[in-house]
Amino acid sequence: MQEKANEYGYLKDKLILTNEAVLKKISTTDTPPEIVAVAVQKQYDKNILKSCKKVVLLENIRDLGNLGTILRTSVAFGADAVVLYGECADLYNPKCVRSSVGNLWKIPVVQFKEFDELSVFNDFCRVATLPKANSYLKDFKTVYPCVLMFGSEADGLSRELVDFANREVKIEMAASVESLNLSVSCAVILYKLFCLQ
């Protein structure tokens, strides 16, 4: 354990060895992990977004597993930041943290409650992801800086964000499939627009 800590630059006085009983008591899962960490909840200022080229905006995402998975996907496919807009799930809920597989601490996450805070994106390409969009993903050309906007599975994007967008895109799918899971849609779109272009 100490060798791994040294490898990652952690100080030995910050390590506490414990037992399974203690881990079971503090764990929120049936099978406790062998290692746990105490970490600082980072707070980012919206001004960090001014230097970003690739931003993911999530509106009213309440599913903890989806949120954590999208954070992980955003890091994997090169997003510079994630914005949580409206009433999103608790970023630091244990389920979200587990779903992010540690990637929560690898990307700035900014939280906005009010529409006027989105003015930071006035000079961005603002892409609404919509099931009935007029552009297919396969034909879409990304312009940077870009903010990709995703709504919840239940409600999609709000009218105010659809109106705020200056472009829109949809994933072409088989006619027999009504929709994809939100985190899957994010992965497909981020890979195409942030990695392949």
Q: Which domains occur in the chain, in start order?
A: 1-38 (no CATH), 46-195 (3.40.1280.10)
pLDDT for residue 26: 85
Residue 28: burial class (beta carbons within 10 Å; 0-12, 13-18, 19+): exposed
The strand pairing partners of 187, in sequence order, are none
Distance in angstroms (rounded) separating the CA atoms of residues 64 and 97 = 9
Q: Could you check whether the bond before residue 33 is cis, i.e. omega within 30 degrees of 0? A: no
Whether residue 144 contacts residue 52, with contact meaning beta carbons closer than 8 Å, is answered with no
Query: For the chain, how are helix, strand and coil distributed in percent, rounded to 5?
Result: 40, 15, 45
pLDDT digit string (tens) for 71-121? Answer: 999 999 999 999 999 999 999 999 999 999 989 999 999 999 999 999 999
Exposure string (b/e) for 48-60, b if CB count within 10 Å is 16 or more?
A: ebeebebbbbbbb
Supply the Cα-derived Rg of the chain in whole angstroms. Answer: 19
pLDDT surpasses 90 at 145:
yes
CA neighbor of 151 nearest in space, from 50, 56, 28, 80: 56
The chain-wide mean pLDDT, for the chain, equals 92
pLDDT for residue 33: 80
